[in-house]
Structure 1
């Protein structure tokens, strides 16, 4: 075992001897830290979180916050074993990024009850979380890695067509209308209108923005939030998705913490729905899947 792995195992053991943090506690601590940074004028902190949402959209909300807080410039993370399998080693002295990993236990039923249905004799259940450590690619050395997926610069490329397919698959009508000017896009609940003549990057960003409204701002959430909050959430989703596929975008509202007046619970809910919505859209356009998306709920995401 190399010295880095030994250090990680020792750190993990020390962490597990202390009071284990729940995913909810970790999220609350990270959101509070974000609030403090923004109140001190460090608006780049939120931009780092939004960027991480796109880079690590297969991770849970809580672990995205952990990665962004500990290493804001991380681009690709994995554990020691995964890097070794890819022909890379963690550099000596590098410090791991702590995330939460689920601990799965077996729920054993009484013999009499188990005999009624053999399929439920031993059920896997979530019993808690433990500290686990991942490393960014910049902390490793070794074999060159292939790119995750194609990247674009200033043009949405085929991601634009994939996004349109996904919109239509959700049962949302899409049309182009000159009459909505000066607005670039409009969401009508089941229908999106775009202003013709936009650049590739701008049209893609606008469509993601309006799609976010369709996915997020209906029914209860629409009446429970202000128009400013809804617009900011949609813009944040457009930033996360656009930046992830390689678009140059500077329209993220990096100071929107002010909308919540330091209210951690409201900020947490907002960041969660931004992350979940961005993840659904990115998964669809990266895999070219066009199945209808599940209804989004602002429930706490489980740790990856």
Structure 2
């Protein structure tokens, strides 16, 4: 049995390995086609952090090339015990996909407004009378998930998938995006032609609090542009200094959000072009393209989710197996290491610890 020190070194090694995989995946995104593919993929796995989406994608591709899975893209992924909850079992010899799971700690304070007053509670320790308790991420640990194609057992419940006629936006999407734009305090204007908005498809004006979209293009293109401008509203206000200094960043972020919104509704976005990531990423002083892509990817995903979660529309599944209870309590990890990792992922409570499986 490994000692505590040996277990710590093993965990450190796994985190280093995951970081190398992630960096390699991001480096390969610095082309327009790869960026578009990654965003379409992220739209189907939007419940997970952008970094973990890339890790799953990278490892599933390798499994496909090795003949361990039948399709090049995963459909549903979950932890070992979660598949068992659904009446399915990971097949013998199927290695799980390593991802980064959060390590959280409980903190207490009698004066929450004072950052220095918070103290971490030990396991089982109760707060003092009058103290407020909050949890926050203090590090990450390796964890495993498996695609449904790596399991066998009971069939999954079917979920409705959007069906879209070419050139037509899905029912309710135009109205839903319009409602969100107006809820953010902007007036939505549908203008007859691009000559009224400087030759653009759409335009967001933070001074007049107006969003304009031209109507002399197809229905799907209008709605895609509506999503693009809503992303500007949410992401690129007067305080977004970096995007305002480098317009390319703001334009690619907005177009990427629009692509994810469309992909989540089954829309064919192949006719829309995302500018080459290398072009805008390399223009940011003091950062290399990998750093910019990592930062943009998670911002794009969170903005797209914020929009999608408030829409009353039929959307493609988010990568969580149908019928899975997301509120199932997870087993606490044993003495987790408090280690920060660049671009650490947000909480994904359904993950299995990377212990003893798929190694």
Question: Normalized against structure 1, the TM-score is what?
Answer: 0.75
- Structure 2 vs 1, CA of residues 301 and 228 (structure 1 numbering), >3 Å: closer, same or farther? same
CA contact 2:77–2:145 (8 Å) conserved in 1: yes
Where does residue 237 of structure 1 map in the other structure?
257
User: Which residue number in structure 2 is paired with residue 98 of structure 1?
Assistant: 98
TM-score after normalising by structure 2: 0.65
| Aligned with residue 285 of structure 1, among 293, 303, 311 | 311
The correspondence of residues 57-136 of structure 1 with structure 2, limited to 5 A, is 57-71=46-60, 73-106=73-106, 107-108=120-121, 114-117=127-130, 119-120=131-132, 124-136=135-147
Aligned position for 1:214: 233
Q: 1:83 to 1:18 in 2, by over 3 A?
A: closer
**In structure 1, C-alpha distance between the alignment counterparts of 2:7 and 2:276, rounded to whole Å:** 37
Separation in 2 of the partners of 1:136 and 1:222? 40
Deviations 1:236-270 (A, max 9, x none): 11111111210011124273233223532222222
Given the alignment, which residue of 150, 158, 165 partners 2:172? 158
Name structure 2 gaps, 5 residues minimum. Answer: 1-5, 62-72, 107-119, 283-287, 315-342, 349-359
Asked whether 1:246 is paired with 2:266, we answer yes
CA contact (8 A) 1:63 1:99 kept: yes
- Contact 2:190/2:213 (CA < 8 Å) preserved in 1? yes
> Is residue 21–residue 55 contact of structure 2 (8 Å, CA) maintained in 1?
no
Aligned residue for 1:195?
A: 214
Match for residue 256 of structure 1 among 258, 274, 277: 277
Equivalent position of 2:12 in the other structure:
19
How far apart, CA to CA, are the structure 2 residues paired with 1:300 and 1:191?
36
For residues 87 and 147 of structure 2, the distance between their equivalents in structure 1, rounded to whole angstroms, comes to 14
1-side partners of 2:159 and 2:276: how far apart? 31
Aligned-partner Cα distance in 1 for 2:127–2:153: 50
Query: Which of 288, 294, 309 is residue 268 of structure 1 equivalent to?
Result: 294
Distance 2:280 2:299 in 1: 16
Aligned residue in 2 for 1:34: 26
Aligned-partner Cα distance in 1 for 2:188–2:173? 16
Could you say if the C-alpha distance between residues 160 and 143 of structure 1 is closer, same or farther in structure 2, counting changes exceeding 3 Å? Answer: farther
Among candidates 140, 144, 150, match of residue 139 of structure 1: 150
Gaps of 5+ in 1: 1-12, 289-298
Q: How big is the shift at 1:219?
A: 1.9
Change (3 A) 1:303 1:105: closer
